[in-house]
Amino acid sequence: MDDTWLRRGDRALEAKDWERAIASYQTALRQELLPPHLAAQVHYCLAVAWEGRGHPLVALSSLQKAIACDPQHWHAHVYLGDCCQRQGWQELAIQHYLTALKGSPSSFTAEAHGRLGQLLAERQSWDEAIACYQRALKVNRHEASAHLGLVQIHIARGHLEQAQEACALAQSLDPDLVGASTWNQLGVAFARQRSDRSQAMAHVQQAIAQDPTYAPAHCNLGVLWFQQGELREAILACKEALDLDPRMAQCFYNLSVALQQSGCDDEARACAVAAHDLVPTLNHVDFVL
């Protein structure tokens, strides 16, 4: 069999010359009676090229053709799962990921395990999601999506000590694996689920230490100071948050209440107006995630 067109397609694909790759592969499919496993690979490569050109639905169709040619093309199942996830077709994505995982676990990268874990977590299949994240970490112990996914699940289930342990493990591997948003979320969870202001304060301050420009953490620090009656500190924290993000309606509202209780009525009214201009339904001091 003359594989000239296939080689041309492969070279063009490597160079990200999408149009030439597509033309070469299509010519190969027209001119040659390819064995099923090779035809499947050509359709797989066409999918890469079509997605590179910005045609995700055509790429998805190419992957379906690849699987029709060779149902055991596990990488095509994984790629089709990726495409379905990007289209928002979560259940289809899960179906193709699980098919690949059952047929060939080695076809899964740590990132793919993480994506499947995320989909399962979104449908609240907690135990299955945890298993996916754990498999991701066996492949690559530094896989950030797996560490953060485990933290999110533990928070959602109210297992805050386990969430802390997951954060500590991630940090021991790489100080940057756990970002400000995760520490902030953990702090809010301790405040809301346990009314544990000490732990909440520690984690929110950790978020600020991780990223001093992360506005929600400053806002939440203000809420915690407010709950402890430290109005001056609450006002300063809220103002810092609004300097960083002047469109944070909840923070304007929180600040308005703190100012009012401090006797700064005019400034309090101005902040309340700003809050309601952004979100008219705000009516109580609250945290920001």
- Alpha-carbon distance 254 to 122, whole Å? 31
Which range, of 28-37, 48-57, 185-194, 213-222, averages the lowest pLDDT? 28-37
User: For the structural domain made of 1-108, what CATH number should be given?
Assistant: 1.25.40.10
Report the candidate in 38, 109, 36, 122 with the shortest Cα–Cα distance to residue 79.
109
Could you tell me the pLDDT band of residue 1, with boundaries at 50, 70 and 90? very low
**Domain map (residue ranges) of the chain:** 1-108
Report the candidate in 170, 171, 210, 207 with the shortest Cα–Cα distance to residue 186.
207
Share of the chain above pLDDT 70, in %: 99
Encoded tokens for 171: 């940090």
- Alpha-carbon distance 249 to 241, whole Å? 11
Could you tell me which residues come within 8 angstroms of residue 208 by beta carbon, excluding any fewer than 6 positions away?
180, 214, 217, 218, 221
Could you tell me which residues come within 8 angstroms of residue 264 by beta carbon, excluding any fewer than 6 positions away?
none
Could you tell me the pLDDT band of residue 106, with boundaries at 50, 70 and 90? confident
DSSP state of 109: -
pLDDT in tens, 72-92: 999 999 999 999 999 999 999
Q: Which helix (H) or strand (E) holds 266?
A: helix 265-278
Could you tell me the pLDDT band of residue 176, with boundaries at 50, 70 and 90? confident
Contact yes or no for 38/44 (Cβ under 8 A): no
pLDDT the model gives residue 102:
93
pLDDT in tens, 263-282: 999 999 999 999 999 999 99
pLDDT the model gives residue 203:
97
Tell me the helix, strand and coil percentages in the chain, rounded to 5.
80, 0, 20
Asked if pLDDT for residue 251 goes beyond 60, the answer is yes
Is residue 176 classed as helix, strand or coil in its secondary structure? coil
Is residue 38 classed as helix, strand or coil in its secondary structure? helix
* Mean pLDDT, residues 244-256 taken together: 98
pLDDT in tens, 9-48: 999 999 999 999 999 999 999 987 889 999 999 999 999 9
Is residue 174 classed as helix, strand or coil in its secondary structure? coil
DSSP state of 159: -
pLDDT the model gives residue 16:
97
Contact yes or no for 73/41 (Cβ under 8 A): yes
* Mean pLDDT, residues 160-180 taken together: 92
The whole-model pTM stands at: 0.80
Contact yes or no for 44/62 (Cβ under 8 A): yes
Could you tell me which residues come within 8 angstroms of residue 170 by beta carbon, excluding any fewer than 6 positions away?
144, 147, 148, 151, 177, 178
